[in-house]
Every structure is written in C-alpha cells, then in structure tokens.
Amino acid sequence: DIVMTQSPDSLAVSLGERATINCKSSQSVLSNSNNKNYLAWYQQRPGQPPKLLIYWASTREPGVPDRFSGSGSGTDFTLTISSLQAEDVAVYYCQQHYTTSPITFGGGTRVEIK
C-alpha cells in the first residue's frame, strides 16, 4: 500500500492568516508517462461528507475558492489556504490516486480558528 502521512494532525490559525497542510506519500505518485502527480485533496466540514478541492496535486475543482492551492511533486505535497475564513474550519485529507491497490487517504489534518 502507498501510505499517506499528513502533518500536522491539527493546527489553529487566525482568521485571514495562512494555513499550510503537508502530505507525504511512501512512494512517488508522479507518473513518468504524463508527468502528473496523482494526488487529491478533500475538505470535510463537521457533520458533512468530504468535498473534493484539488486533483492532479494542483488542479482546483470548479467552484473551489482560489484561496485553496495545492503544490508539490513526487512524494511531498502541500495544501495551502492563503487567507483562512471561518467556513474553512474542517478536517482536510489527501488521497493518492496513483494506484487502486488500494486507493489510500491520509489520516487527516484538523484546521481550527485561533
């Protein structure tokens, strides 16, 4: 299995400040054939299902605010919220879609307001 490790487990950020979440995969999720990173990010607000934010490591899903951005390559990835809003309080998950043997998610990072 490709193990996805997120850090930190939780962070508290002031409104309007930057939040940075890290995700590390146990093996590269970069494809040599198309030069794409098979990494997605989700937001799960309290009591809600996950919502897709980003795929291919940096492609924003339509409708996702541009304060959310994804970066990284190979085994190290970052989700950045450039200016935290109250509605961004949630748990964020990364997921590798490089292989279905199996598809794996990170353990989640909880973002709270400081």
Instruction: Tell me if 89 contacts another protein by CB under 8 A.
Output: no
Contact residue for another protein among 30, 55, 58, 77 (CB under 8 A): 55
Handedness of CA 28, 53, 36, 69 (dihedral sign): negative
Residues 26-45 that bind another protein (CB under 8 A): 34, 36, 38, 40, 42
d(CA 109, CA 70): 15
Q: Is the peptide bond before 8 cis (omega within 30 degrees of 0)?
A: yes
Give residues in contact with another protein (CB under 8 A). 34, 36, 38, 40, 42, 49-52, 55-56, 59, 61, 93, 95, 97, 100-108
